[in-house]
């Protein structure tokens, strides 16, 4: 299957239709003759004109040959017209298939950031407008469906709800049915590379290029000089040829000095690729064009920038598969001849190669983005206009552009790769099953005993088997994945969460050891509901964690990754679903990977491991894969090992072969189900780690690890011995063999009840299919079905102090719970606590039991009172809403309901006002209310101080008609003695503060830019070289002088505090340049610079030492002494 390509829409020039994947293998004649025979064909040997020009594999060479009869002029005219027609037909055919590519690419880009929409909207092409409208229409339909579903399932809370068992079951079965597509991933140097072996980081670069190609994206390979960008590019073109079946044509534009080197590299690494080097004088080029170029007798055309300009009339006729530009900085200027001409060339994908990092030049970034995505960044004027409107926030825009560019850019430096990446150590840990797991495993097998025994014949439904496989895999992970398995209500997060799953027992012991040794852990599972259980476990153990699954929004995903990777992060665990934690996630700060279960596709597990095992990892990475022994998971693991070996022989060695199928056959599914089933039925309880969870010691863990290493090595050795022929004959029969023992069911020798299921009652004979399947899905144990269920506990609200329920509500709910327990003969539970407090706990239990014994049901009046009390509180407010309310009150003030509503997700200003009124009446009933109140009051004080600073600064500026020249600053004595800024500089800083704001993001970066752009300080080295941090400290000092000068009584009363703050600011404001040398003489570098600068300015400029106010005598005396 040919991968999709990126659509390129040009604003001018010829049609931009590109060559489809099926049209890339163009260098062979339609009749199957190799190219070496083409020059012996005559014109009359070619197929009919109207047939050939509709064949996607037709070339001008295959139609007309290289020779024409003697009457050359007529024949040459016919050949020319034929070539022109063929080129046109290819472009026309390609235009039909481009719409799907465009929609797919736009969906991908708009999913990354909405910034793309602005630039796409500026494209004048009406077809682009139609595509956007179609995408918006489909998105609106999806949102409407999601909204209606949300309303049916409980409103806003549904957005954060966990999946149900039925939803995840359907998803798992669907994934296995359809297999799923994964990018080709090389783990070793490809077999088609002949001249040597690629390094690990070069293989990583090749995999990155493949992932871009298979997602239809163009990119920039920007590795540092000397890291083998040429080899990575050549190996990628080899992948297209040998794995993707795409021979070309490709165009490689390089500097003239490297033409021969590129040709030598192709011949060295992949000599099978037919390379045309287009160079030489006019006559030599004309011969090459006539003999090879126009008839497409090449795979790759390598030429220089100059040749592209000279021979553009020929090169622009082709529909190139890839246009590759070495030294990509040559097209950073979109007005250069090379940039303008090469943009006209028609290609499906483009690759830029550069050894220099990209600069923060917005227009250069646009030029590169325009070349990669011409249908998105198609209008330079619109791009520049957009930035001209963002002058005050240009740094933020640059950051956004880098964020946009990051998915398309790969940049490594030598320091990253000179330290070789240690190989990962992968160990399969074999665990048993708990008592509850054995019980549920038997129950699943008994539900469909005929299918399990393989007695239903060849017409057995594969979906039926898939469902059994999926249920067994859920049981191997945790029995709580089944509805009704977890004890409750009430549901508790307790040790039973660990003890009822052997994998959880093993994980618990393993994490304690990893936490002690300072490691950080990634845990992957196929099932998002396993992550729900792991979240509860993490909370119980006090482990800090992050989580990503398929429903995680893009912004939340990035935030979680950044939070986990930041320096000093306290996050110990990262929980991910295997298929959500794919490409684009870098988690090299972790060194332990736990695969809680194995994915059907082994490539997905490899991608999961590579989140930690990649360039940038400095530690040894250990991978622990949990496998349930004597159960279905052993066969899943064996099948994955088989597929990996086949992949290694076929894909990694560059052989052209049919892709390995992802979905298992019915025989394989039946083999998986039957494996270990007899041992499960023979067991009387839990086995392995879970059977002795409390007594599992470090020595036991070491033994399990050692046994896992031995079995992992044996499994790998088994498949390393198999060749391609062995694997191709590896039918489902051989999958039943393991360690010399066969698990193949012998139907003639084994009766239908070989698993010895529980005794079943005789069923009523009927011919209704619906009734048959209803009976087939019922459990075998009818006594359980007849067992009377305990009535559901009364519905009660969980009461938190920040919800401000009346205290009477808790009393009514306690009374209601006591009656429920009395009615159902439930005893009062023993309160939690230590063994030392057992007597007090028993006494509390006895009192609670007395309340149950004396309980009476709620009257109708009490039930109505309960509902009324609930309505008086705020049950829809959760802890997150409360915390956001506190932060918003601190940020905007307690009366600014509109501002607070911006901080609280999903709450309107009216809801905030209603909650705030109750909060300020009852806030003293909260736990730690002094802390909450302090947060708000401190924030309000900061707001008042900030507003006062703005008001006084504006008042100070307005006192002068020309503040830059006339404004006087009343320095303090200490400020005067320590000052190294001139008065002109201080005036400029105050004026800029008034312009950009006293506080805010990147204020001091903007002031620094104003300094550098101002002609007043063109030769002021000292002022020009100040960093934003130094500018900020000086601005704080100047603001304090303004507050002291113009502040009202409040600031005069706080004089001492103001002085302390001012002294602290002044100490920070000192520029630590003046140091005493060893001989006691001061370093005069700064004095010389300041002296020279001050001697050249006009008399209106103050010196760096003297202020407008006279200095005290003490300071003068020091000056005289000096």
pLDDT in the model for residue 764:
46
Angle at 1015 (CA atoms; ends 1012, 1021), nearest 5 degrees: 55
Taking the C-alpha atoms of residue 7 and residue 346, their distance in angstroms, rounded to an integer, is: 10
Triad 177, 181, 184: Cα angle to 5°: 140
Residue pLDDT, tens place only, 940-962: 888 888 888 888 888 888 999 99
Q: Please indicate, yes or no, if residue 112 is contained in any of the structural domains.
A: yes
pLDDT at 510: 92
Whether 587 and 500 map to the same domain: the answer is yes
Domain of residue 1102: give its range. Answer: 984-1121
Cis peptide leading into 118, omega within 30 of 0?
no
795 within domain boundaries: no
SS3 160: helix
Residue with tokens 């290289």: 66
Nearest to 580 by CA among 531, 542, 626, 636: 531
Q: Which helix (H) or strand (E) holds 426?
A: strand 425-431
Whole-angstrom Cα distance, residue 327 to residue 347? 19
Whose structure tokens read 């060695």? Answer: 653
Domain match, 309 and 251 both: yes
Measured at the CA of 541, the angle between CA 537 and CA 545, to 5 degrees, comes to 70
| SS3 of residue 424 by DSSP | coil
pTM of the model: 0.46
In whole angstroms, give the CA distance from residue 147 to residue 136. Answer: 16
Element at 26 (helix H, strand E):
none
Among residues 818, 799, 821, the alpha carbon closest in space to that of 808 is found at: 799
pLDDT of residue 584: 56
- Judge if 705 and 846 occupy the same domain: no
- Regarding whether 499 and 408 lie in a shared domain, the answer is no
Residue after which a domain boundary falls, among 838, 872, 906: 872
Q: Is residue 462 part of a domain?
A: yes
- How far is Cα 641 from Cα 371, in angstroms, rounded to an integer? 43
* Structural domain ending residue among the three candidates 872, 888, 908: 872
Q: 448-451 long-range CB contacts below 8 Å, 24 or more apart?
A: 448/776, 448/777, 449/753, 449/755, 449/757, 449/780, 450/752, 450/776, 451/670, 451/673
Which residue from 953, 949, 1021, 950 is spatially nearest to 985, judged by alpha carbons?
1021
Tell me the C-alpha to C-alpha distance, in Å, between residue 782 and each of 752, 758, 772, 775, 787: 21, 10, 17, 12, 9
Helix then strand then coil, in percent of the chain rounded to 5, is: 55, 5, 35
> Residue 624: inside a domain, yes or no?
yes
* CA pair distance 949, 990, nearest whole angstrom: 11
Specify the pLDDT at position 1067.
45
Give whole-number Cα distances, 535 to 520, 523, 768, in Å: 16, 11, 45
- pLDDT in the model for residue 101: 60
**How much is the pLDDT for 394?**
52
Longest dimension (CA), the chain: 119
* Six-digit token string for 593: 């990977």
Q: Which single residue is written with the structure tokens 């996607």?
A: 56
Tokens of 371: 């070349």
Q: Which pLDDT belongs to residue 664?
A: 57
DSSP string, 816-877: HHHHHHHHTTPPPPPPP--GGGHHHHHHHHHHHHHHHHT--PPPHHHHHHHHHHHHHS-TT-
User: What does the block give as tokens for 163?
Assistant: 């999946």
Asked if residue 646 lies in contact with residue 727, where contact means CB atoms within 8 angstroms, the answer is yes
Query: Rounded CA gap, 348 and 218, in Å?
Result: 9
Give the integer Cα–Cα distance in Å for 901 and 910: 9
Assign 197 to helix, strand or coil: coil
Residue 253 and residue 323 in contact, taking contact as beta carbons nearer than 8 Å: yes
Helix (H) or strand (E) holding 338: helix 337-344
Q: What secondary structure does DSSP assign to 1072-1096, as a single string?
A: TT--B-TTSPBP-HHHHHHHHHHHH
- The answer to whether the CB of 376 falls within 8 A of the CB of 369 is yes
Check: CB of residue 206 under 8 Å from CB of residue 243.
no
**What token pair was written down for 828?**
């009062």
Q: Kindly give the parts of the chain with pLDDT less than 50.
A: 1-70, 97, 150, 152-160, 456-459, 651-662, 688-693, 729-767, 779-787, 1052-1068, 1070-1122
Angle at 308 between CA 307 and CA 313, to 5 degrees: 110
Same domain, residue pair 911 and 1026: no
b/e 251-280 (16+ beta carbons within 10 angstroms → b) = bbbbeeeebeebbebbeebbeebbbbbbbe
Report residue 254: phi and psi, to 5°.
-135, 165
CA distance 455 to 450: 5
Alpha-carbon distance of 454 to 460, in angstroms, equals 8
**Same-domain pairing of 412 and 435:** no
Q: How many Å separate Cα 1002 from the centre of its chain?
A: 27
Angle formed at CA 149 by CA 148 and CA 155, multiple of 5 degrees: 85
DSSP 433: B
**Angle (CA) 594 598 602, round 5°:** 110
822 lies in the same domain as 923: no
Q: State in Å, rounded, how far the first CA of the chain is from the last one.
A: 85
Q: What is the CATH number of the domain that holds 255?
A: 3.40.50.10810
CB count in 10 Å sphere of residue 303: 24
State the Cα torsion 680-685-687-693 to the nearest 10°.
150
Q: How far apart are CA 680 and CA 442, in angstroms?
A: 7
Determine the Cα angle at 151 with ends 886 and 813, to 5°: 60
- The β-bridge partners of 625 are 428, 595
- Answer whether residue 573 is part of any domain: yes
What's the chain's Rg over C-alpha atoms? 37
- Beta strand extents in 581-730 (DSSP E only): 592-595, 622-628
* 36, 162: one domain: yes
Identify the three-state secondary structure at position 643. helix
Query: For residue 3, is it within any domain?
Result: no
Same domain, 992 and 1073: yes
Residues 723 and 612 in one domain: yes
| 87 Cβ contact partners less than 8 Å away, ≥ 6 residues apart | 317, 318, 319
How far is the C-alpha of 307 from the C-alpha of 937, rounded, in Å? 71
Q: What is the CATH number of the domain that holds 884?
A: 1.10.10.60
Structure tokens belonging to residue 404: 């946009």
For residue 845, the domain's CATH number is: 1.10.1040.30
Residue 192 lies in a domain: no
Handedness of CA 1059, 1064, 1070, 1075 (dihedral sign): positive
User: Looking at the structure, do residues 552 and 619 belong to the same domain, yes or no?
Assistant: yes
- Whether the CB-CB separation of 248 and 300 falls below 8 Å is answered with yes
Q: Would you tell me how many other CB atoms lie within 10 Å of the CB of residue 85?
A: 16
Domain end marker among 384, 400, 417 = 417
Contact 998, 946 (CB under 8 A): yes
Give me the number of domains the chain comprises: 6
Q: Do 602 and 493 share a structural domain?
A: yes
Query: In 3D, which of 374, 400, 373 has the Cα closest to residue 386?
Result: 400
Contact 464, 448 (CB under 8 A): yes
Q: Is residue 688 part of a domain?
A: yes
- Residue 961 — φ and ψ, nearest 5°? -70, -40
CB 19 within 8 A of CB 321: yes
- Provide φ and ψ at 435, rounded to 5°: -55, -45
């Amino acid at each position: 299957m040919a991968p999709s390509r990126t659509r390129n829409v040009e604003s001018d020039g010829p049609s931009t239709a590109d060559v489809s994947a099926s049209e890339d293998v163009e260098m062979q004649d339609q009749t199957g003759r190799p190219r070496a025979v083409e020059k012996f064909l005559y014109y009359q040997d070619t197929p009919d004109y109207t047939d050939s020009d509709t064949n996607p594999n037709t070339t001008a060479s295959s139609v007309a040959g290289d020779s024409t009869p003697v009457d050359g002029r007529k024949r040459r005219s016919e050949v020319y017209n034929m070539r022109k027609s063929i080129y046109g037909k290819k472009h026309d055919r390609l235009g039909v298939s481009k719409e799907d590519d465009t929609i797919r690419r736009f969906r991908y880009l708009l999913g990354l950031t909405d910034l793309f929409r602005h630039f796409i909207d500026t494209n004048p092409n009406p077809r682009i407008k139609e595509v956007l409208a179609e995408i918006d229409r489909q998105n609106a339909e999806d949102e409407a469906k999601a909204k209606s579903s949300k309303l049916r399932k409980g409103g806003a809370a549904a957005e954060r709800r966990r999946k149900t068992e039925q939803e995840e079951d359907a998803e798992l079965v669907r994934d296995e049915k359809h297999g799923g597509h994964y990018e080709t991933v090389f783990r070793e140097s490809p077999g088609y590379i002949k001249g040597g072996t690629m390094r690990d980081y070069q293989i990583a670069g090749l995999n990155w290029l493949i992932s871009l190609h298979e997602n239809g994206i163009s990119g920039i390979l920007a590795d540092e000089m000397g890291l083998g960008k040429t080899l990575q590019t050549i190996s990628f073109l080899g992948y297209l040829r040998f794995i993707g079946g795409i021979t070309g044509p490709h165009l490689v534009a390089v500097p003239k000095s490297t033409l021969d080197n590129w040709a030598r590299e192709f011949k060295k690494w992949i000599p099978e690729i037919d390379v045309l080097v287009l160079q030489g004088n006019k006559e030599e080029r004309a011969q090459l064009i006539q003999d090879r170029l126009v008839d497409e007798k090449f795979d790759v055309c390598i030429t220089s920038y100059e040749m592209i300009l000279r021979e553009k009339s020929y090169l622009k006729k082709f529909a190139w598969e890839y246009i590759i530009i070495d030294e990509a900085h040559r097209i950073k200027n979109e007005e250069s001849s090379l940039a303008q001409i090469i943009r006209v060339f028609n290609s499906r994908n483009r690759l830029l190669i550069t050894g220099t990092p990209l600069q923060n030049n917005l227009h250069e970034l646009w030029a590169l983005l325009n070349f990669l995505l011409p249908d998105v960044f198609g209008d330079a004027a619109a791009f520049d206009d957009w930035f001209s409107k963002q002058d005050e926030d240009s740094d933020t825009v640059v950051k956004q552009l880098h964020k946009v560019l990051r998915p398309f850019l790969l940049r490594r430096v030598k320091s990253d790769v000179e330290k070789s990446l240690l190989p990962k150590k992968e160990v399969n840990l074999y665990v048993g099953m708990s008592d509850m797991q054995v019980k549920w495993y038997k129950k699943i097998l008994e539900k469909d005993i005929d299918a399990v025994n393989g007695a239903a014949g060849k017409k057995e439904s594969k979906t039926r088997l898939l469902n059994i496989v999926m249920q067994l895999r859920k049981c191997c992970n945790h029995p709580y994945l089944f509805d009704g398995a977890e004890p409750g209500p009430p549901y508790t997060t307790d040790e039973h969460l660990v003890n009822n799953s052997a994998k959880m027992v093993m994980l618990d012991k393993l994490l304690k050891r990893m936490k002690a040794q300072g490691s950080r852990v990634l845990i992957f599972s196929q099932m998002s509901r396993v992550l729900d259980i792991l979240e509860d476990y993490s909370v119980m153990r006090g482990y800090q964690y992050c989580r990503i699954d398929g429903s995680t929004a893009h912004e939340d995903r990035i935030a979680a990754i950044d939070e986990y990777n930041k320096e000093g992060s306290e996050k110990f665990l990262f929980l991910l679903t295997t298929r959500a934690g794919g490409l684009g996630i870098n988690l090299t700060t972790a060194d332990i990977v736990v695969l809680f279960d194995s994915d059907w596709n082994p490539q997905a597990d490899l991608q999961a491991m590579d989140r930690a095992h990649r360039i940038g990892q400095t530690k040894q990475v250990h991978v622990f894969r949990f496998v349930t022994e004597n159960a279905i998971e052993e066969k899943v693991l064996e099948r994955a090992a088989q597929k990996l070996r086949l992949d290694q022989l076929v894909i990694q060695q560059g052989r052209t072969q049919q892709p390995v199928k992802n979905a298992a056959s019915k025989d394989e599914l039946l083999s998986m189900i039957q494996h270990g089933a007899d041992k499960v039925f023979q067991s009387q309880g839990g086995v392995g780690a879970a059977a002795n969870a409390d007594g599992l010691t470090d020595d036991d863990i070491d033994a399990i690890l050692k046994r896992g290493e031995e079995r992992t090595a044996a499994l790998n050795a088994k498949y390393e011995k198999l060749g391609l022929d062995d694997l191709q004959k590896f039918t489902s029969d051989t999958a039943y063999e393991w360690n010399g023992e066969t698990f193949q069911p012998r139907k003639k020798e084994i009766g239908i009840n070989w698993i010895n299921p529980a005794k079943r009652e005789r069923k009523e004979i009927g011919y209704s299919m619906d009734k048959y399947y209803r009976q087939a899905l019922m459990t075998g144990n009818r006594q359980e079905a007849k067992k009377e269920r305990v009535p559901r506990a009364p519905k009660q609200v969980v009461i938190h102090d920040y919800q401000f329920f009346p205290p009477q509500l808790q009393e009514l709910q306690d009374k209601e719970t006591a009656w429920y327990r009395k009615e159902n003969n439930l005893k009062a539970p023993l309160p939690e606590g230590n063994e030392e407090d057992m007597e007090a706990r028993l006494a509390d239990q006895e009192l609670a039991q007395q309340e149950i014994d004396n309980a009476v049901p709620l009257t109708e009046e009490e039930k109505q009172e309960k509902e009324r009390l609930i309505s008086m509180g705020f049950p829809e407010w959760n802890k997150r809403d409360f915390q956001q309310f506190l932060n918003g009150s601190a940020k905007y003030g307690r009366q600014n309901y509109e501002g607070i509503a911006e901080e609280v997700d999903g709450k309107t200003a009216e809801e905030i006002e209603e909650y705030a009124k109750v909060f300020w009446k009852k806030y003293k009933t909260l736990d730690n209310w002094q802390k909450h109140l302090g947060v708000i009051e401190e924030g309000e004080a900061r707001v008042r101080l900030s507003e006062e600073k703005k008001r006084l600064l504006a008042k100070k500026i307005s006192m002068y008609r020309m503040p830059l020249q006339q404004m006087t600053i009343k320095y303090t004595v200490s400020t005067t003695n320590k000052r190294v800024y001139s008065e002109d500089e201080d005036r400029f800083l105050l004026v800029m503060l008034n312009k950009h704001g006293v506080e805010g993001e990147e204020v001091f970066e903007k002031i620094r830019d104003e300094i550098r752009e101002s002609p007043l300080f063109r030769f002021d080295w000292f002022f020009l070289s100040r960093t934003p941090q130094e500018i900020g400290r000086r601005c704080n000092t100047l603001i304090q002088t303004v507050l002291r000068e113009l502040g009202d009584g409040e600031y005069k009363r706080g004089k001492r505090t103001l002085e302390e703050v001012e002294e602290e600011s002044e100490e920070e404001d000192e520029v630590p340049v003046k140091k005493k040398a060893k001989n006691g003489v001061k370093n005069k570098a700064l004095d010389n610079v300041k002296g020279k600068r001050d001697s050249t300015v006009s008399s209106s400029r103050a010196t760096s030492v003297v202020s407008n106010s006279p200095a005290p005598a003490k300071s003068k005396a020091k000056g005289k002494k000096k």
